[in-house]
Amino acid sequence: MQHKAISSQHLNSTARAHSSEIRAAMAALAVVFTIAILALCSAVVAAADPATADTRNFTIPSPRSTTTTAKGPVTYVFGDSMSDVGNNNYFPMSLAKSNYPWYGIDYPGRQATGRFTNGKTIGDYMADKFGVPSPPPFLSLSLARKDDVLGGVNFASGGAGILNETGVYFVQYLSFDEQITCFETVKKAMIAMVGKEAAEAAVNAALFQIGLGSNDYINNFLQPFMADGTTYTHDQFIRLLITTLDRQLKRLYGLGARKVVFNGLAPLGCIPSQRVHSTDGKCLGKVNAYAVKFNAAAQKLLDGMNAKLPGAQMALADCYSVVMELIEHPEKHGFTTAHTSCCNVDTEVGGLCLPNTRPCSDRSAFVFWDAYHTSDAANKVIADRLWAGMMASAGHGGGASAPPSVGASPAPAPFPSEDY
DSSP 393-405: HHT----TTS---
Mean pLDDT on 151-163: 96
Statement: residue 247 has pLDDT above 50: yes
Amino acid 2: pLDDT: 38
Sheet of strand 313-317, all strands in order from the earlier edge strand to the far edge:
153-154, 75-79, 207-211, 259-263, 313-317
Q: What is the pTM of this model?
A: 0.82
Q: What's the CA gap between 230 and 1, in Å, rounded?
A: 26
pLDDT at 54 over 60: no
Q: How many residues are there in the chain?
A: 420
Task: Calculate the alpha carbon distances from 36 to 114, 172, 179 in Å.
Answer: 21, 9, 13
Report the range of poorest mean pLDDT among 179-188, 241-250, 411-420.
411-420
Q: Check pLDDT > 50 for residue 64.
A: no
Exposure b/e, 223-242, CB count within 10 A at least 16 = b: eeebbbbebeeeeebbebbb
Highest mean pLDDT among 7-11, 43-47, 379-383: 379-383
- Of 288 and 44, the structure prediction assigns the larger pLDDT to 288
Residue 10 has pLDDT above 50, yes or no: no
Q: Tell whether the model's pLDDT for residue 420 goes beyond 70.
A: no
- What would the DSSP string read from start to end of 278-320? SSSSS--HHHHHHHHHHHHHHHHHHHHHHHHSTT-EEEEE-HH
Q: Using 50, 70 and 90 to split pLDDT, how confident is the model at 146? A: confident
pLDDT surpasses 80 at 380: yes
Pairwise CA distance, residues 305 & 253, whole Å: 10
Element (H, E) at 251: helix 234-254
210 burial via Cβ count (<10 Å: 0-12, 13-18, 19+):
buried
User: What is the number of structural domains in the chain?
Assistant: 1
Burial status of residue 67 (CB atoms within 10 A of its CB: 0-12, 13-18, 19 or more): exposed
Q: Evaluate if residue 392 carries a pLDDT over 90.
A: no
Q: Residue 89: pLDDT above 60?
A: yes
Domain membership flag for residue 370: yes
Active site amino acids: 81, 370, 373
pLDDT in tens, 188-208: 999 999 999 999 999 999 999
Please check whether residue 3 lies inside any domain of the structure: no
In sequence order, the 6+-apart residues with CB closer than 8 A to the CB of 140 are 86, 87, 90
- Domain extent, residue 37, equals 14-46+73-394
**In-domain check, residue 236:** yes
**What is the reported pLDDT for 395?**
66
CA–CA gap between residue 221 and residue 215 (Å, rounded): 9
Mean pLDDT of the chain: 83
Q: For residues 357 and 350, what is the distance between their CA atoms, to the nearest angstrom?
A: 13
pLDDT of 174 > 50? The answer is: yes
List, for residues 319-371, the tens digit of each pLDDT value.
Answer: 999 999 999 999 999 999 999 999 999 998 889 999 999 999 999 999 999 99
Beta 313-317 vs 259-263: how paired, if at all?
Answer: parallel
pLDDT of residue 133: 92
Burial of 190 (0-12, 13-18, 19+ CB in 10 A): buried
Sign of the dihedral defined by the CA atoms of residues 219, 222, 226, 232, in that order: positive
Is 208 inside any structural domain? yes
Is the pLDDT score of 407 beyond 60?
no
> Is residue 67 situated within a structural domain?
no
Residue 390's pLDDT band, with cuts at 50, 70 and 90, is confident
DSSP 119-182: S--HHHHHHHHHTSPPPPBGGG--TTSHHHHHS-EE---TT--SSTTTTGGG-S---HHHHHHH
Amino acid at the residue 89:
N
Report d(CA 374, CA 171) in Å as an integer.
24
Distance (Å, rounded) from C-alpha 363 to C-alpha 360?
A: 6
* Contact of 420 with 288, CB cutoff 8 Å: no
Q: How many CB atoms lie within 10 A of CB 384?
A: 16
Q: CB–CB of 77/92 below 8 Å?
A: no
Rounded to whole angstroms, how far apart are CA atoms 371 and 301?
A: 30
CATH number at residue 19: 3.40.50.1110
| Paired residues of 210 in beta bridges | 78, 262
How far is it, in rounded angstroms, from Cα 5 to Cα 13?
Answer: 12
Percentage of the chain lying above the pLDDT 90 cut: 69
State yes or no: pLDDT of 408 exceeds 70.
Answer: no
Give the pLDDT of residue 349: 85
Is 96:115 a contact under the CB 8 Å cutoff? Answer: no
What is residue 237's DSSP assignment? Answer: H
* Element housing 197 (H / E): helix 196-205
Looking at the domain assignment, is residue 110 inside a domain?
yes
Q: Is residue 264 part of a domain?
A: yes
The residues near 114 (Cβ < 8 Å, ≥ 6 apart) are: 84, 85, 86, 87, 88, 89, 97, 98, 99, 137
Whether the pLDDT of residue 87 is over 80: the answer is yes
pLDDT value at residue 149:
82
